Amino acid sequence: MSTVATPSRIQDILHQWTITDEHSGVSTGTEWGKGTGERLTSRSPVDGAVIGVVRGASRAEYDQAVAKAQEAFSVWRTWPAPKRGEVVRQIAEELRAHKADLGKLVSYEMGKSYQEGLGEVQEMIDICDFAVGLSRQLHGLTMHSERPDHRMYEQWHPIGLVGIITAFNFPVAVWSWNTALAWVAGDVCLWKPSEKTPFCSLACQRIVAAVFARNGVPEGVSTIINGGREVGEWMANDTRIPLVSATGSTRMGKAVGAAVGQRLGRSLLELGGNNAIIISDKADLDIALRAALFGAVGTAGQRCTTTRRLIIHQDVYAAFRQKLTKAYGQLRIGDPLNEKNHVGPLIDTQAVDLYTKALEAAKAQGGSVLVEGGVLSGEGYESGCYVKPAIVEARPDMPIVQDETFAPILYLLTYAGDITAAIAIQNGVKQGLSSSLMTMDLREMERFLGAAGSDCGIANVNIGTSGAEIGGAFGGEKETGGGRESGSDAWKAYMRRQTNTINYGSQLPLAQGIKFDL
């Protein structure tokens, strides 16, 4: 049974969290500021309707929010980590209760399919569950001292205020990847959401604030500061914020990294991707087809892990091309809240313009269009944000292939010989986020995963480039930024390491045998 949401239904969803058509976008918890800064109009790419207006923060309101967060940190860091974990556990339960509504809001405000909206909320639940267990495992090492009657160990302490800058394509999940870990670590979080999806941030703050209020969590542990680019610049240059986690374009990440680095702060950058699937002549082509199709058109090509390049062995190129073009012919494009559709809209008409220009550039640079793209119009496409997923036969050295276009454009490339040639093509771009190899050959797999193989932060075999699991660290190399979020030991980014040495003896041996006549 399909589910279709109308603007009035979205307003009903917002009403349960007392989010009005014009709402303050500055909050330190249950308290909401006036929001006297920039007016942010949220317009759904689904149908072009205005969801509402959010008032961003002025500089004075930003400073007040940071001061409140500093006060909250002085208390929150003293809570035992398992107690902080219990609060995060309750957040997961609230997210389960609101999964359908929050998923629908994500879908309507951002434009991804309802199934993907639900999946994004599930990611929030999963990272909370991960963080709950982590709250009892924030452990350091013990080391043997070279000095008699001494003990050495290390421990981890909260780092303080964590600034979080997120992008429109995952308007809630990426925030939760950071906050769930930071909160159990004892940090407080200041969130600057994308100005394109402000109502998703308001809903998240309402859900979290209710849990925090029940548990006596101080105001300021969770803070949202909506606004434009200037809010991100305030965070990046603010010495009161020791860590800034930023997700978005490489251009944005370079600016944030430079500003934070100049003041010797820490930055966690998760930026662009130009991800490739290598399809070997030893691949299962049916598995490869499913991986390539979802990787290329999921979220209308607006994931940082979207598959943008297929590097196909020349011996299976013709057969795979035929399978792929047939599959593209079966894609249904339309309202993402209708579960029968596969592809929703791009985020806005600016993204549509970039999509159109990229296709024009691909043709001008010698690419051959295999599946024609284009902007859709007419009934159901009134927002002007719906486009056709396109396929272009191209060369690796084409400038447009080297860049990331945040849209459903897939480039087909070929290689000959062994897997080494394909790996060289895959690695021959500036980005290094996600990669995948389709093969049934063990030797090819090991070469791809070895030190001379994929240079990406994520390297998969017989699955696509998207769909990372919570348990693994997420992020990439080169112009992807080098940051890691989510699972594994990514929690260490949100804490500071301290080495401790205890002398329990009656003497104080000094280094290099130095002695004082005392």
Residues forming the active site: 270, 304
Q: In what order do the strands lie in the sheet with 50-55?
A: 22-24, 50-55, 39-43
Helix runs in 298-416, H state only = 317-328, 349-364, 399-402
Helix (H) / strand (E) element for 431: namely strand 431-432
Cα 112 off chain centre by: 15
| Cα-based distances in Å from 200 to 52, 108, 170, 205, 234 | 12, 10, 10, 9, 22
Which DSSP symbol is given to 92?
H
CA 76-82-85 angle, 5° bins: 75
Helix (H) / strand (E) element for 442: namely helix 442-449
Integer Cα distance of 76 and 186 in angstroms = 6
Provide φ and ψ at 378, rounded to 5°: 100, -165
> Could you identify the residue written with the tokens 């994308």?
194
Per the CB < 8 A criterion, the answer to whether 323 and 310 are in contact is no
For residues 362, 356, 307, 42, the Cα torsion angle rounded to the nearest 10 degrees is 160
Pairing of strands 266-270, 50-55: unpaired
Contact partners, residue 230, CB within 8 Å, separation at least 6: none
Helix (H) / strand (E) element for 103: namely helix 99-110
* One-letter identity of residue 219: E
> Could you identify the residue written with the tokens 């205890």?
502
